[in-house]
Structure 1
Amino acid sequence: MRIIIAEDELVERKAMRKFIEETFVDMEVVGEAMNGRKAVELAEQLEPDIMFMDIRMPGVNGLEAIEQISAKHKRIKFILVSAYDSFEYAKEAMRFGIKDYILKPGRRQEIVKTLLRVSKEIHQEQQSDLQSQVLRKEQLLDRLMHQSDSRGIKELKGQLFPDMETACFFVIKATGDHNLEDYEYQLKTVLSSKACIFKSIPSEQVIVNCIFSVNKLIKSDLLVLARKVHLELGEASYIGIGNPTANMDQLAHSYQNAYRACIDLFADRNRNYGFYQGKIKDKQTDEKINTICILVEQGKQEEVIVFFKNHESELTGMDKEELYIQLIQLFARHGVEKPKTLVTSLQSSQDWYSYLHLCCMQMRDYFASKRSIHLAKTFMNEHFHENLTLEQVAAEVNLSPNYFSNLFRAGVGSTFIDYLTQIRLQKAKELIETNNYSLKEISFMIGYKDPNYFSRVFKKHVNQSPKQYQQAILRK
């Protein structure tokens, strides 16, 4: 921990410094300030974890210094030091979230307890920040792979890689006896100097890696890097490289090309790393693949299998791999979980029939659930004023209550009760604004038989009672 001591009395400063450095092996006093102005300057230069701050110092006092420092450095923890046991000082300090207050001369035991408590809080925050960063990286990688939520991508990229100039994807396939954990550990070792995000996909024995660089990446550099990765991972690895780009919206194409390259390299077994070479496809082949994807999206399993049987002989192995990739992208666009079938397991015609059958089932279930949710929401919007229950709405869409409850929460993002409450309160606001009905009448009109209960629900969600909301409307 890095500590600054801000204290106008030299003897007090030196005594505090000596005590801290002799007592704690993991704490270092990196600076001393004799007044508030100097404390602000040192906080900017040294970025400490903890600052001991005397309240009464010449010029800028301790509280004023804390206010200036806190505006820029939210993470710094302050321990107030004062010769005055004043409630007013403590109350003022609470505005900045400061809970630690030591009276001079501070007893050693009290200082030790305070530092240990603050140190523990800092460690917990750092651990929380680390977990949050891991989660944000996972979110960014998923969105880049599937080209979803452009605004969210830009926000996450700005938080995690603000200086990024270029980025690209590597897709690495593990074969033989190696497991993905070994591969990922070796991969992180080779790329330790690079800003990267990793994701393992055990069902496909694949690791997806997005590399960010503050410099412009060029293909020759990436080939050299891929060779280093291959030498570390060994002959049983295949590394597909996506085209580098500075455009966030183009990174999904980098991932797709890296994935295609990885599949091609693994199928050919002639090289272990490289870019996607592409292939010349005639327009008819594109149309056949597109037709299959459309039929799968519509859930027409009999039609898609008949179509595939009729045209299978016209599709090469590479065409089928392209079909597999496009089906994966189809599921990703809809946010639907794809079947856990590897492209390498699709060897026979029967394998493909079973796979397409599974794809259609997944899509049918997805759209059926969307339709059920749409019907349920429509019914609730029409009957919100009645004594609606989850069981009643579930029966309306021919689903069991438990299944409907889980389906509704997943599809709408809120529980049945919360959604019903939103409908009722929105209608209540509209009726209040007309000023044609009493609040008691409105309570009955939106489905609440107890006006007092309606008032409590309204205040909980709107932060105003119905009466306060009505008065605010009338004042406008």
Structure 2
Amino acid sequence: MYRLLIADDEARIRKGLRNSINWAELDIEIAGEAEDGEIALKLVKELNPHIIMLDICMPFLNGLELIKKLKNVNKKSIIIIVTGYDQFEYMHEALKLKVFDYILKPVNRENLKDTILKAIQELSKIERKRNYLDWTSKQVDENLNSLRQVFFNNWFNGKLSYEDILEELKFLKINFSKCIGMVTIKVVEKFKMELYVRNWDRELLNFAIINIAYDLLKNFKPEAAFVDENNNIIIFTNLCNSSEWYDLGNKLEEKVYSYLGYIVVTEQEKILNVINEVKDTYSKLVCKINEKIQCKPVVLLTMKYINTNYNVNDLNLQGVAEQFNVSSSYLSKLIKQEIGISFSDYLTNIRIKKAICFMEDPKMKIYEVAEAVGYSNQHYFCKAFKKVIGVSPTEYRGGNV
């Protein structure tokens, strides 16, 4: 049943409107009456009527002023002006305020009924539209993951324009901040026979890995995830700061193995220019992932060990080789062969990469950064940093080269 509010400062007018139509036949109840604009405003807030019939000339708050206030209180009500003022300026102002209709006093019963029937038709149309929007919203929510899968694959395959991307992000409720993080995860198939504790269905496995990642990344507010055509899992997070960001990959690899018994490799990157850089960053990370999974198991495990223990001051080839029961000469040769650089260079590159991350914190001194990435000697750290980056840590931090 629709609720009607009548607002007029004359009691006889209110009574006349109340008695002029069999409101129940039209499925309308008169929910309230008001003798001035302020009372009407209060009743609108309390009763939330579907239809408001009001006079222009009322004490304290006239009809036009009331309508302006109603726009901030109840935008859904249909407003019908019933007034004795047949003047252009009033009608013009009423039209500007988008009132539904304008009836002159004395009110003709048939005209009133016709206007109310039109209002009911409009309310019915609004309700159907609202129901349809609710239904479509529910359908989107229920199929959100599938829709996002299609969107990201289209984006990364270059099928969407800049405007399409912005529109789809909004439609799919993906709210990227100015700085986001992209994490790429891949199961290493070559370990399947040796280390899998359960033969998971791939779709279920991907779902489980995403859940573990979301839990680990909760402080970074994970925004969206999808699985590409080659079973690379991509997760996007919003980044407020990145002081812990570059250690997340190692933690994720450890958690997935601990919970599921699967070996995965990860790559991650910060993105500042989201729309323009996401596609290229995705391609770069997938390329790095594919290079990693081609490595022999012992090399892959060595890389993972270095990524986790880069901050150990005396980390060296001999000690790592002992961890995996191989000779240092064999491991050294294998690393050079598989990734193209020596053990020492790989370790240095990882340490400098981590150092750059720590240096984003302006409160952290250079010697503290050096210690945090495994250098007990600041001078040696600065020398290694300049060799990799081309400038000293101080110059890098000052110019953010």
TM-score by length of 1: 0.35
Higher relative contact order (CA 8 A, sep 6+): 2
TM-score by length of 2: 0.41
- Whichever of the two has the greater Rg, that structure is 2
